[in-house]
Structure 1
Amino acid sequence: MSTAYEQALTEVGNEGRFQKCFDVKYNVLVVFMWSMAYMNIILSLAFTPYTCKLPDKTDLNISDYTWKLKHIPVHSDANGDIKFESCTIYTHPDVNNDTSECDAYTYDKTWYDSTIPSEKNWVCDKEINIANLFAYSKIGEAFGSVLFGWIGDVYGRRPTYMVSMVLIVLGRLISLLAGSSFLIFATGCIIAAFPSWSVPQSVSVISMEISSSARRTITTSMRYTAFSIGLATVPFFYWWLRDWKLFVIITTAPLIPWIIFSWKIPESPRWLCVTGKSKQGIKCLKKIAKDNNRDLKVDTEKEIMSMEIEDSHSGYGPLALFSGKRIALNTILLLILWVFVSISYSVLLLSAGEKSGLNPFIQFSLQSIAEIPANFLGAWLCDHIGRRRSTTMSFFVIGSIWTIISLRELNIQWIRAWWINSALIAIGRLTIAISFFAINLLNLEIYPTSLRSSGMSLGNVVSSVAAAIAPYILYLLPETIEDANILGSNKTKYSKLSKTKKPAPEDLT
């Protein structure tokens, strides 16, 4: 079947107008808009500086700073600077230094009018909600990848794409309507994450199966470039709108027209032929031939119709990826690569623009732009030195970056500079993007047609589970020497300071 199909694809054209139009519509436009909808909830979970809400002034002659100093405890950081506590307030400031947890909070609105944590007060002890949401979403991606990978191999690439788009929009709508309920909000995030990667996965598989092998790096570059441009663009919508709900609506709504017209996406003729739907497959091939001004020969058409269905084991889904020694070994090695790449990328992505005091939107955008040249560099490396060497080289670079980052905790000041941190994140994301590029090509190429979706889905499963660890790494990661000294002690990151002596105002100048 493979030989007959390749002959048919050559006859109808495998690099013509049909393929180019498909790439522009789905590998570029759909992936661009999908990337914004995929990322909007993560950006909306951004933390903003906060302190306890102060009581109304009883004396208008007192300055705001003095009034705040009277009610909010302070502490010295590792550099000796005085900082206000975020989660505690003096209970009776005129009587003693006893403190209590905040009942309400005031948020810094320099960059955001509202975020999910600020609207729902997911701060202090509830800050773990953010890590949990990210983890739940990634676990949802893992289960969804298994299900939709199997659906893609058994029922087709097109229905997988259609259902995935619907669930993403539905999930975001549920989160928008969740109110103060963490359970409902998390349910919406999981529903949206459940099929999320099935959209670009379905597109990439169809693209591969209607194109020549020479176009694989080109279409992969287009898809990843569109994804990176989407990531670089989406923070500017938040900067403009400033409200997380408007931001999520504006960046999710563009998917709706693609849902309405999703029936127009072509099914993979290779999948149709392999699964015994040869008449439909030939119909698709003739559509490609028409758009490319080519013809499908009668003899080739008869050969496709006379071929027997391959024994694909597709009904077993991911289990078929371990059905033989060689395919099992390849699968295991690829899954190991997915784990390391996914954890590194997720940690870098979530830490982009944090705690530097600079514009978080521009920082996130610039670091996302760093991925764009990686798509073309990755294509060049994969074509000239191979997929394996490209992956090995990028792993060496990212390992070196993590080594440098670890030196920050030795109090080497130049490494702790904000611009060093931003540069390391940008280089890291560029390097990991090359790894993603190479690994995706390997996933597409080592599996047969009947197992291609399952192979990519299993990679997404392991990738998502590994990424679920990332927010907890950041949550526990010490940012300063002081944090490192506290980590592992009987104090928590947000422990309240009872009976703390209030400093005199002159001590804070």
Structure 2
Amino acid sequence: MDSLYDRALSEVGQEGKFQIRFDIFYNALLAGLWSLAFNNIILALTITQHNCKLPERPANLSEYLWKLKYIPIVKEATGDNGTKFSACLIFTANNDTEACSIYDYDKTWFETTIPSDNNWVCENELNVVNIFSYSKIGETVGSFVFGWLGDVYGRKPTIVISLAMLIFGRLISVLASSSFVLFTLGCVIASFPSWSVPQGTATISMEISSPKRRANVATLRLVSTSIGLCLTPLFYWWLRSWKPYMIFTTVTLMPCLLFSWKIIESPRWLLVNREYGKCIEKLKVIAKVNNTNLSSNIENDILTSGEDVLASSTKLLGPLALFSGWRLAINTTLQLLLWVCVTLNYTAVLLSSAETSYGNPFLDFAGQSIAEIPGYFVASWLADRVGRRYTGMISTTITTLIWIIYVFRDFSGTEWLQSQWLGTFLVITNRLTITVSYYIIDLLNVELYPTCLRQTGMSLGNLVSGGAAALAPYVLHLGRRFDIRYSSAILIVTTIFCGILTSFFLPETLNVKLPETLEDAQNFGRRNRNYYMSVRVKEETVDSNLPGNIPNTRH
């Protein structure tokens, strides 16, 4: 039987003009602008080609011979005995070598970046790695803090505070870029709210919409953030320098912050927290736009019987409950390992997008970002036809093969392996398959945990995911500064053992009755990974707490 809130929402309209307008302004426009500001730091921290600044070259001497006179030749990090001019050393008058005091940067595409302005290269290159890592740690902690804020103080104040911190943090980084400490502090402040803005608006939308709209809401939010990520490099290409680029992509959020007070608070949240008068007020706002009415009977029921709002409350369980049974502990551990695989792969690919370009780095970054959009739909189609497990196995297997091909590209002189078209194809395909893997792990997080532990399980996944994301910059640094085989080996081994094998041993959740109690979860998948609880789920028996078929979280 429908809850009191469901009956009230049915009266004021679950699919009317209010919901459509909300989605256009917040889950499309705001999500896209937020993505611009949240991800602009990735390109701004690109390390461009560089070497020691040399005296002016005589006209009668080739560039190669001129460099040979001043710059030592060193072994490449590819490990194939290849050599190149050092990017960090220069000959002294005594024919010894010393570190560069002044650098010359390639300005073909980037007029300036943060590393080029501050000389965060060579021995100072670790500054860039640390900034990315500290930001990811900030995201991890922030996901817990703002998740708690959203549940305790409401979705609306969480969104407003998150917007303010993102803008404030980015402006600190721009204004104090000469100080590593202040710049890093700004990055951590900006990353601390994590994905609270798009997740918060999507949560409100799902809580004021019918169940069949929820998948569309999640899809709209994910696609919008990917479009924002795709537009990010195009603005850099236009502005060329990192400061105007960072300012432009950040201040576009200012109108959203100024008018954020107009965002409606979730009536469901207000009702659960016994703010019955405010709940009725928000329901009437929805009804006015949808040209409907909230009946006096429902209004009186809300004021007098608030505990009928949702399902009866359940005992709060801590994170240790996720390991309270053998099968549940295995399922939890497998999911956490899959989080490590997917996040490490995604973060490594994202952070190296501009540096591994085979042509125009801005168009390559945009092309890789746009590949995420079909990735969502491919993942949804495969997940509903071949199952979650097999889709995860397929995507992680393809990702592993791509990393192996990269190794052959680094060590082979075969012409077709070195071709630009193959490099572009591999990068875009890798981004698409990793997006599919991300979809699957988010979906499994929603489906494998019981209702009473679902939020706890997703929070634990965010924690492990954040830890893996913080390690990714160091994996890239290892390959860039020492030997590319090290980072390739780490990604290959991680994807095989934490991706392919983990997906194989997880239980299938396609068309099965999902666990609702702790006891259900402790037995889920115990007998048969494919068909445990093999009762085909009809549409009306789907867990009403699920946010739809498309997941609601993303790192």
Contact residue 174 and residue 184 of structure 1 kept, 8 A: yes
Is residue 88–residue 100 contact of structure 2 (8 Å, CA) maintained in 1?
yes
2:236 to 235, 238, 254: 238
Change (3 A) 1:88 1:252: same
Q: Which whole-Å CA distance do the structure 2 matches of 1:339 and 1:467 have between them?
A: 8
More displaced stretch, 294-303 vs 448-457: 448-457
Deviates more, 1:367-376 or 1:413-422: 413-422
Task: Tell me the residue number matched to 2:428.
Answer: 426
- Does 2:61 correspond to 1:54? no
- Deviation of the 1:447 alpha carbon: 7.5
Instruction: Give 1:397 shift.
Output: 3.6
Correspondence 1:282-431 to 2 at 5 A: 282-305=280-303, 306-308=305-307, 311=313, 319=319, 322=322, 334-382=335-383, 390-408=391-409, 411=412, 413=414, 414-431=416-433
* Equivalent AA in structure 1 for residue 422 of structure 2: I
CA contact (8 A) 1:217 1:379 kept: no
Superposed displacement of residue 377, structure 1 = 3.0
Aligned-pair distance for 1:381? 4.2
Deviation at 1:384, TM superposition (A): 5.4
Instruction: Find the aligned partners of 1:385 and 1:61 in 2 and give their Cα distance.
Output: 66
Moved more, 415-424 or 235-244: 415-424
Contact 2:13-2:287 within 8 A present in 1 as well: yes
Between the aligned partners of 2:282 and 2:230, the Cα distance in structure 1 is 36
Deviation at residue 10 of structure 1 after TM alignment: 2.1
- Between the aligned residues of both structures, percent identity stands at 49
How far, CA to CA, are the matches of 1:410 and 1:66 in structure 2? 27
Distance 1:486 1:232 in 2: 26
CA distance in 2, matches of 1:352, 1:410: 21
For 2:512, the equivalent position in structure 1 comes to: none
Q: CA contact under 8 A between 2:43 and 2:354: conserved in structure 1?
A: no
Moved more, 257-266 or 12-21: 12-21
Q: Which blocks of at least 5 consecutive residues in structure 2 are unaligned?
A: 490-555
Q: How many residues are paired up?
A: 481
2:467 alignment counterpart: 465
Q: Tell which deviates more after alignment, 448-457 or 412-421.
A: 448-457
Counterpart of 2:506? none
Distance in 2 between residues matched to 1:485 and 1:393, nearest whole Å: 25
Cα distance in 1 between the residues matched to 2:449 and 2:290 = 28
Alpha-carbon distance between aligned partners in 2 of 1:255 and 1:450, rounded to the nearest angstrom: 36
Q: How far apart are the structure 1 equivalents of 2:398 and 2:365?
A: 21
Q: After TM superposition, list the pairs within 5 Å mapping 1:100-119 onto structure 2.
A: 100-119=98-117
1:491 maps to what in 2? Answer: none
Q: Which amino acid aligns with 1:280?
A: K
Distance 1:453 1:159 in 2: 20
In structure 2, the residue matched to 1:90 is 91
Please state how far the C-alpha of 1:174 moved relative to its aligned partner: 0.8
CA distance in 2, matches of 1:79, 1:385: 41
Look up the equivalent residue of 1:15 and give its one-letter code.
E
1:158 corresponds to: 156
Query: Offset at 1:425?
Result: 2.3
8 A Cα contact 1:274 1:450, kept in partner: no
Shift of 1:420: 2.6
Counterparts in 2 of 1:40-79, with a 5 A limit?
Answer: 40-55=40-55, 65-75=64-74
State the 1:182 CA deviation: 0.9
RMSD: 3.3
Q: Secondary structure at the match of 2:120?
A: coil
Counterpart CA distance in 1 for 2:218 and 2:438 is: 10
The whole-number CA distance in structure 2 between the counterparts of 1:103 and 1:479 is 19
User: Residue 209 of structure 2 corresponds to which residue in structure 1?
Assistant: 211
262, 271, 274: which one pairs with 1:273? 271
Cα distance in structure 2, aligned partners of 1:282 and 1:300: 9
TM-score after normalising by structure 1: 0.84
Question: Residues 221-258 of structure 1: CA distance to partner in whole angstroms, max 9, x if unpaired?
Answer: 11111111111111011111110001000101111111
Cα distance in structure 2, aligned partners of 1:27 and 1:302: 32
Secondary structure of the corresponding residue to residue 422 of structure 1: helix
1:437 maps to amino acid: Y
Shift of 1:333: 5.3
> Partner of 1:178 in structure 2?
176
* C-alpha contact (below 8 Å) 1:51/1:107 kept by paired residues: yes
- Per-residue deviation at 1:379? 3.9
CA shift for structure 1 position 374: 1.8
Counterpart of 1:21 in structure 2 is 21
What amino acid maps onto 2:426 in structure 1? L
- The verdict on how the C-alpha distance between 1:388 and 1:83 changes in structure 2, with shifts beyond 3 A counting, is closer
Q: Hey, what does 1:39 align to over in structure 2?
A: 39
Shift of 1:438: 4.2
Secondary structure at 1:469 match in 2? helix
Unaligned runs of 5+ in 1: 489-509
Aligned to 2:104, what secondary structure does the other structure show? strand
Alignment partner of 1:193 out of 191, 194, 209: 191
Are the structure 2 counterparts of residues 47 and 212 from structure 1 closer, same or farther at C-alpha, using a change threshold of 3 Å? Answer: same
Q: Show the counterpart of 1:127.
A: 125
Over 3 Å counting, the alpha-carbon distance change for 1:193 and 1:24 in structure 2 is same
Aligned partner of residue 98 in structure 2, secondary structure: strand
Once residues 391 and 5 of structure 2 are traced to their aligned partners in structure 1, the CA distance between those partners, rounded to angstroms, is 31
For the Cα contact (< 8 Å) 1:313–1:320, is it kept in 2? no
Compute the TM-score of the two structures, normalised by the length of structure 2: 0.78
Cα distance in 2, alignment partners of residues 457 and 338 from structure 1: 12
Amino acid at match of 1:83: K
Specify the code of the residue in structure 2 equivalent to 1:25: F
- SS of 1:109's equivalent? coil
Which one scores higher on RCO, CA 8 angstroms, separation ≥ 6?
A: 1
Out of 151-160 and 341-350, give the one that drifted further.
Answer: 341-350
1:477 corresponds in structure 2 to 479
Q: What whole-Å deviation, never above 9, does each CA across 1:44-80 have from its counterpart, x for those lacking one?
A: 11111111112356x7765555443321122465778
Q: Which amino acid aligns with 2:139?
A: E
Partners of 2:348 and 2:212 lie apart in 1 by: 34
The more displaced of 287-296 and 466-475 is 287-296
Q: 1:357–1:383: structure 2 CA closer, same or farther, 3 Å change rule?
A: closer
- CA pair 164-97 structure 1, distance change in 2 beyond 3 A: same
